[in-house]
Amino acid sequence: METVRTTCPYCGVGCGVLARPDGGPVAGDAAHPASGGRLCSKGSALAETTGLADRLLHPEVNGRRASWDAALDTVAEGFRRALASHGPEGTALYVSGQLLTEDYYAANKLAKAALGTANIDSNSRLCMASAVAAHTRAFGEDLVPGIYEDLELADLVVLVGSNLAWCHPVLYQRLAAARAARPEMKLIVLDPRRTASCEGATLHLPLRPGSDVALFAALLVHLHDNGFADAAFLASRTEGLEPTLQAARAVAAEAPALTGLAPSLIQAFCSLFARHPKVVTLWSQGVNQSSAGTDKANALINCHLLTGRIGAPGMGPFSITGQPNAMGGREVGALSTMLAAHLRQDRPEDVALLRDYWRAPALPEKPGLKAVDLFGALAAGRIGALWVMGTNPAVSLPRGDAVRAALRKAPFLVVSENSWRAETLDMAHVRLPALSWGEKDGTVTNSERVISRQRRFLPPPGEARQDWWILAEVAKRLGHGGFAWNGPADIFREHATLSGLGNKGTRRFDISALAALDDAGYDAMPPTRWPCPADGPAPARLLGTEDQQAHRLRFVATPFRAPAESVTGEFPLRLMTGRLRDQWHTMTRTGAVPRLMAQAPEPLLTLNPGDAPAPEGSLVQVESPHGKAVLRLKLDPGMQPGCGFVPMHWTARFAPAARVNASMGGTPDPVSGQPELKHVPFRARPFAAGWHGFLIAQQNYGTDLAPWCAVSPVEGGWRHELAGRETPAEAFARLRALLPEGEWMLLEDTAAGLHRAVLLDGDRLAAAIAVAPEPALPPRDWLASLLTGGVPESRRAALLAGRPVGGPPPSPTICVCHGVREDAICGAIRAGACSVAAIGEATRAGTNCGACRPEIAALLARVQAEAPAAESPVPEPA
Ligand SMILES: Nc1nc2c(c(=O)[nH]1)N[C@H]1C(S)=C(S)[C@@H](COP(=O)(O)OP(=O)(O)OC[C@H]3O[C@@H](n4cnc5c(=O)[nH]c(N)nc54)[C@H](O)[C@@H]3O)O[C@H]1N2
Ligand SMILES: Nc1nc2c(c(=O)[nH]1)N[C@H]1C(S)=C(S)[C@@H](COP(=O)(O)OP(=O)(O)OC[C@H]3O[C@@H](n4cnc5c(=O)[nH]c(N)nc54)[C@H](O)[C@@H]3O)O[C@H]1N2
Ligand code: SF4
Ligand SMILES: [Mo]
């Protein structure tokens, strides 16, 4: 079977994928420089996400199917009306780091050239805006100086607010392999909670949420006062050290109190950093998603500038991007504070250049609204028409309930989407079916500035069209002549040409060498790193002493600011939110894949045991000053006391009571406008329920079965976790009545409120119900596995107990790729496997994507601690 070389549509690592036009399993592309053939659990499961269930396949206007012509006319008319009633600043686009560069370019041009509004913002405002602002303040331009190889060449890697093992697994595996080859290489993790990325780390600093600036102030002062400043680099390449050092001094002494870290731990961190010139400081959302996010990023960049550790092999500050094309969106300038091709809104000559190039007399001269303000303006009636594309703001923005209310009363809302699983689609006046990964063509740029092709290998389903085409059709209807493209290659050439226009080294984003590609050259384009100017090669690493064109680098003073909302007696804890290993954002892609749901079928609140309001496994209500959510409680001694963690992923499609963003305050950073999505104050209380239960069935019965419901796909059917206020008997009768008649097997103890029922369909399970007054219920894993068959006559009696007679209790799947369960891994350890590699040899666990290796390492430590040296296995060489 011919395979097609393409790129993974998930995270910013940007791994190469070999995809099959018959929809068969994908493989890693060994020729891709980012990944060398590796894929993580999400990437490996890509073929399971290309089905058409839940796909939006036809345009709709006001809930009725419409022709493309009618839908596009309606969109153009809606925007024309809004222009007339509200002016250009009353129109807006809200787009996404998951659009391809060509689509993104078209969206930006439609907003700024055809509508004449700077109100185009992106979910990148929730993601990368603080990194962008910090880069711009320090480097004069938004650029990442280093490349992935630097993580392998470094002697010390510091992860700041990054759970790399789960969120950028292939890069983490590259780092882990480098450490295995050079065991002297160090890893330090700065994260309030102990994450999978801490497994095997040299140091973990569980700092208080929001306190990073204090820690880096202490580091800056330590480096300066102990002779680690690079005087030559400071003199020739930087400015602004003195005020920065002064501001740092004002905070450094308070660092232990502000971070909650022992002075000895801070000292250990500072001296490791000082002693390793080859250091990469990689940061992510624990830094960016903060009301002091830009300062946090500049505080760590300051330490690299002081020591001249930037732009050379194995060293530098490194902002890892979240989405597959977060970087491409910044290149095309599709944020309300940028123009295009790194042209700056605050430079009149740049505005003039773009106005000429686009023949856009209406090009806005002032920045537009940033995401949070944009939705505020929508709520206040100041936006007459909004177009949402490739993002699900009804779920992902803070103050979720207010955002949903604003979307519902929007005068005119257009949503371009792939999937009905995106709730924002429910609120749209016009629904436009967009092509999805595998069906569309274009480019994306990963975290190390490598532009890769995403190529089509599947036929377009239904009437879906690629976003650039949809945008161009609307622009034409609005009378703009600059959208006559025949395909993404045309757009790419226009974009590449612009990047070189009037540039002469003033903007490092220059890909003018690629403007000469013909269609065949564009199709065949190998992964290519920018800058690639027409007038000759550029270095791979930027801003170092080798880089002749580097701008002067600026220190930025970063006085300490605590998170915007303080904890109080009423809301004494701090809630952090973030990601799980196998889910992607609002679950529109990964939520329907059984093996990706296996790691966490329900939304969890993780607390330190000392903060638990109820026993583990109970349902608890999280309440913040802004909203509430009900979640299953998990206890973890690795969680910092006083803090909690909830994954961002669950939506009303999967668990309506567990949408965490209703509770997020999201105060924006004053410089970048990025909302604080990591630090809201909260309290947790037991959730009073009259009954708890589950329903496992061949179909999805939806989320209305009970006041608390979490649905998840399993092979051959669906699992529904439930709780409500009725009596167990009432709830059981109601659930039973939903299901078909048949030969039900029942087990009931009405006095105790215990009810169980099982229905078979040949040797397959058709349905299983369990209801009880308490959350302790029979295990579901084994029952769910019977939906695909295999219940012999002799084992039927066991069904009501939920576990095979005499068999081992079902245990959770650890390795999703090979389906290896915890009990098999523990068995291998007890049989003598004493390294992650040996466990892999015995069970295959962790041998594909490797994302579960930190979990395997944790199990290894746990089991070895349980049975100290009983069998004293001979340790293997590392
Ligand atoms: N599996 C998976 N991978 C993904 C994604 C996904 O949805 N699923 N999404 C992609 C996207 S768009 C993004 S942006 C990235 C995000 O990647 P990451 O930023 O690595 O992920 P998060 O879980 O959001 O947050 C990272 C860590 O910040 C910590 N943190 C919270 N507050 C603070 C603080 O004040 N200081 C410090 N130092 N740390 C803090 C949290 O405990 C958390 O472990 O992941 C990308 N990769
Ligand atoms: N509490 C909390 N909230 C967060 C975060 C957090 O850490 N905590 N993280 C924030 C961050 S970093 C991010 S990046 C956001 C992510 O939040 P969102 O962007 O809202 O999340 P997604 O689920 O990725 O939404 C993308 C949508 O685009 C659709 N789509 C995919 N490809 C295409 C395409 O080619 N064209 C079109 N038109 N549609 C497409 C998908 O079906 C999906 O519905 O969430 C933010 N919100
Ligand atoms: S690490 Fe995983 S999610 Fe990220 S690009 Fe690679 S395969 Fe895709
Ligand atoms: Mo993100």
pLDDT at 389 (0 to 100): 98
Topology of domain 126-317 in CATH is Dimethylsulfoxide Reductase; domain 2 (3.40.228)
pLDDT at 793 over 80: no
Strand partners, 575: 644, 680
β-partners of residue 6 are 17
Where does 58-122+323-485 sit in CATH, by number? 3.40.50.740
Does residue 878 carry a pLDDT above 70?
A: no
Q: What was the pLDDT predicted at 125?
A: 98
867: confidence class by pLDDT, cuts 50, 70, 90: low
- pLDDT interval class at 813 (50, 70, 90): confident
Ligand 2 atom 31: the closest Cα is on which residue?
390
Per-residue pLDDT band for 743 (boundaries 50, 70, 90) equals confident
What's residue 869's pLDDT? 44
**How confident is the model over 663-685, as a mean pLDDT?**
98
Element (H, E) at 203: strand 203-205
Question: Helix 241-252 crosses helix 212-225 at what angle (to 10 degrees)?
Answer: 110
Q: What is the amino acid identity at position 55?
A: R
Q: What pLDDT was estimated at residue 876?
A: 42
Q: Is the pLDDT reported for residue 54 higher than 80?
A: yes
Which ligand ends up closest to the CA of 322?
1
CA distances from residue 307 to 129, 231, 304, 861 in whole angstroms, order as listed = 26, 8, 5, 37
Pairwise pLDDT comparison (371 vs 791), residue with the higher score: 371
* Residue 115 to residues 217, 408, 553, Cα–Cα distance (Å): 45, 23, 36
Ligand 1 test: best mutation among 11, 604, 606, most atoms within 8 Å of CB? 11
What is the 650 CA–ligand 2 centroid distance (Å)? Answer: 12
What architecture does CATH give domain 575-684?
Answer: Beta Barrel (2.40)
Q: Please give the pLDDT value at position 732.
A: 97
Is residue 871 over pLDDT 50? no
Does position 702 have pLDDT exceeding 70, yes or no?
Answer: yes
**Does pLDDT of 360 surpass 90?**
yes
- 53 Cα to the center of ligand 1, angstroms: 29
> Tokens in use for 138?
């320090």
Q: Quick one: average pLDDT of 2-29?
A: 97
Residue 494 pLDDT > 50:
yes
> How confident is the model at residue 868, as a pLDDT?
52
How many Cα atoms sit within 13 Å of 598 on the Cβ side? 26
Strands 279-283 and 316-319: parallel
Buried b (16+ CB within 10 A) or exposed e, 624-637: bebbbbbbbbbbee
Q: According to the model, what pLDDT value does residue 800 have?
A: 82
Q: Whose CA is nearest to atom 14 of ligand 1?
A: 322
pLDDT of residue 579: 98
Say whether pLDDT at 748 is over 60. yes
Query: What mean pLDDT value characterizes the chain?
Result: 95
CB 778 within 8 A of CB 802: yes
For the CA of 326, the nearest atom of ligand 1:
12
Whole-number pLDDT of residue 789: 82
How many angstroms separate the first and last alpha carbons of the chain? 39
- Give the model's confidence band at 596: pLDDT under 50 very low, under 70 low, under 90 confident, else very high: very high
Token pair listed for 645: 């963690």
- Domain at 811-864, CATH class: mainly alpha
460 Cα: distance to centroid of ligand 4 (angstroms): 27
**β-strand 120-122 against 442-445: which pairing, if any?**
unpaired
Does pLDDT of 577 surpass 90? yes
* Burial (CB count <10 Å: 0-12, 13-18, 19+), residue 459: exposed
* Residue 873 clears pLDDT 70, i.e. is over it: no
Residues composing the chain:
878
> What's the pLDDT tens digit per position in 61-117?
999 999 999 999 999 999 999 999 999 999 999 999 999 999 999 999 999 999 999
Cβ 169 vs Cβ 579: under 8 Å? no
Q: Tell me the CA–centroid distance for residue 172 and ligand 1, in Å.
A: 13
Instruction: List ligand 1's pocket residues with C-beta within 6 A.
Output: 11, 127, 160-163, 166-167, 190-193, 195, 209-210, 212, 284-286, 290, 322-323, 576, 578-579, 581, 583-585, 678
817: pLDDT strictly greater than 90: no
Q: Other C-beta atoms within 10 Å of 759: how many?
A: 20
**Interval between CA 41 and ligand 3 midpoint (Å):** 8
Which protein residues have a CB closer than 5 Å to ligand 4 (ion)?
127, 322
For residue 636, pLDDT over 80 is answered with yes
Summarised one tens digit per residue, pLDDT across range 140-182 is 999 999 999 999 999 999 999 999 999 999 999 999 999 999 9
Confidence of residue 805 (pLDDT cuts 50, 70, 90): low
* 395-448 confidence digits (pLDDT tens): 999 999 999 999 999 999 999 999 999 999 999 999 999 999 999 999 999 999
Residue 361 has pLDDT above 50, yes or no: yes
User: Do residues 346 and 377 lie in contact, with contact meaning Cβ atoms separated by under 8 Å?
Assistant: no
Q: How far is the CA of 372 from the centre of ligand 4 (A)?
A: 15
Q: How many CB atoms lie within 10 A of CB 530?
A: 22
Residue 804 has pLDDT above 80, yes or no: no
d(CA 20, CA 4): 6
Cα–ligand 4 centroid distance for 126 (angstroms): 7
Beta bridge partners of 414: 387, 430
Measure the CA–CA gap between 248 and 843, rounded to whole angstroms. 51
DSSP string, 617-636: T-EEEEE-SS-EEEEEEEE-
Sheet holding 279-283, edge to edge: 203-205, 186-190, 156-160, 279-283, 316-319
Question: pLDDT category, 261, cuts 50, 70, 90?
Answer: very high
Residues 734, 726 contacting (CB under 8 angstroms): yes
Whether the pTM exceeds 0.75: the reply is yes
**Which residue ranges have their beta carbon within 6 Å of ligand 2?**
96, 98-99, 123, 126-127, 285, 289, 322-323, 389-393, 395-396, 416-419, 422, 434, 436, 467, 577-578, 585-586, 588, 648, 660-661, 664, 677
Determine the Cα angle at 233 with ends 240 and 225, to 5°.
70
Q: Are 383 and 91 in contact (CB under 8 A)?
A: yes
Cis peptide before 531 (omega within 30 of 0): yes
| Boundaries of every domain in the chain | 2-46, 58-122+323-485, 126-317, 575-684, 689-799, 811-864
Q: pLDDT higher for 106 or 743? A: 106
Which of 355-369, 544-558, 707-721, 805-819 has the least mean pLDDT? 805-819
Whether 575-684 shares its CATH topology with 811-864 is answered no
Question: Could you tell me the fold of the domain covering 2-46?
Answer: N-terminal domain of TfIIb (2.20.25)
Specify the higher pLDDT residue, 358 or 538.
Answer: 358
